[in-house]
């Protein structure tokens, strides 16, 4: 995304200054997975980063219901709709790369045209997979419109990025063109088992400049940064490379239905690492002791477990 690429150099400079002046504690790096406080206090249990970071249920009763009572929550329509927009981002990123590798040094206009040809069929398949059977076309008409506009928006941005790279580097090679214009890798797989997390973690977006992204379609919440923190520490544990920057990417639609993408950059500093580890440890304790933490002070609007809590 153009906004991201324009801001990246500035963010990396700020990160370098932060590390020089403040630094990060070595004991909180993911590669210290065999030493407290990073080492899981309990072995034999693994949870996902989304379970640690998705603290919509303030009391963590969602964890108790799933792991102790065996309740399987069905995603709400709002949750499934959000997944549709995640998939659109994933598909456009992947298809841009595929088009360039398949057609060679192609102009952005050609890429954009090919992406538009693929749009309707791809979105139809995504909705079938993520939302499932529907009673009528009208029930998802708004989702289709938003997904189509998001597809157009992303297609235009990445097609323009290809042209910008070609204009700036006249002799650029094919692989370098893709790496420079579309550096993001979607659904990057990371083994989080050393940290007591799933061995099949999937980072929404990873950028080779050692930045992890979490994509959100709802309103901004403080605990969203726990997700980027968890993925960063899992990456450090499995790859032995430092990850210092996280980005929560919020995708919204304005009153016209046009997509709005905002980037919330943050340092994955000591405070966020401790918050993630403390939340992970509480979750592991609830599961191990089969402790019901009780209902939260208030439930969030789209909680899929309301019928079980009463």
Residue 8 has pLDDT above 80, yes or no: no
Question: What pLDDT score was predicted for residue 6?
Answer: 45
Question: What sign results for the dihedral spanned by CA atoms 201, 202, 204, 205?
Answer: positive
Question: What pLDDT score was predicted for residue 108?
Answer: 93
How would you classify residue 205: left for phi > 0, otherwise alpha for psi between -120 and 50, otherwise beta? Answer: beta
Residue 3 has pLDDT above 70, yes or no: no
Inter-helix orientation angle 108-130/77-103, to 10°: 150
DSSP 26-65: GGGSGGGTTSTTTS-SS-S--B-HHHHH-TTSTT-HHHHH
- Residue 7's pLDDT band, with cuts at 50, 70 and 90, is low
Rounded to the nearest integer, the mean pLDDT of the chain is 90
Furthest-apart CA atoms within the chain: distance in Å: 64
Higher pLDDT among residues 257 and 283, named by residue: 283
Q: How many residues does the chain have?
A: 310
- Residue 134's pLDDT band, with cuts at 50, 70 and 90, is low
Name the DSSP letter for residue 135. Answer: S
Question: What pLDDT score was predicted for residue 73?
Answer: 84
């Amino acid at each position: 995304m153009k906004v991201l690429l324009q801001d990246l150099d500035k963010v990396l400079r700020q990160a370098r200054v932060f590390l020089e002046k403040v630094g990060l504690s070595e004991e909180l790096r993911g590669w210290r997975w065999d030493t407290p406080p990073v080492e899981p206090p309990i072995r034999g249990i693994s949870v996902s980063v989304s379970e640690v970071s998705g603290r919509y249920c303030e009391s963590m009763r969602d964890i108790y219901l799933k792991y102790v009572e065996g309740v399987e929550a069905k995603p709400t329509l709002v949750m499934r709709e959000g997944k549709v927009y995640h998939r659109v981002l994933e598909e456009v990123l992947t298809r841009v790369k595929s088009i360039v590798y398949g057609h060679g040094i192609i102009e952005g206009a050609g890429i954009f045209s090919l992406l538009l040809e693929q749009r309707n069929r791809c979105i139809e398949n995504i909705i079938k997979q993520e939302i499932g059977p529907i009673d009528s076309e009208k029930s998802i008409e708004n989702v289709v419109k938003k997904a189509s506009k998001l597809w157009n928006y992303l297609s235009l941005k990445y097609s323009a990025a290809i042209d910008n790279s070609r204009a700036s580097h006249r002799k650029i090679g094919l692989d370098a063109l893709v790496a420079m214009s579309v550096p993001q890798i979607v659904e990057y797989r990371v083994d989080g088992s050393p940290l007591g997390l799933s061995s099949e973690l999937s980072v929404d977006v990873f950028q080779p400049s050692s930045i992890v992204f979490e994509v959100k379609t709802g309103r901004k919440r403080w605990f969203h940064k726990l997700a980027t923190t968890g993925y960063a520490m899992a990456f450090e544990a499995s790859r032995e490379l430092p990850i210092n920057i996280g980005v929560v990417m919020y995708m919204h639609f304005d009153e016209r239905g046009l997509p709005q993408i905002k980037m919330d950059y943050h340092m994955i500093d000591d405070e966020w690492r401790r918050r993630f580890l403390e939340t992970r440890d509480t979750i592991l304790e609830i599961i191990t002791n089969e402790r019901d933490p009780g209902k939260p002070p208030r439930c969030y609007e789209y909680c899929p477990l309301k019928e079980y809590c009463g």
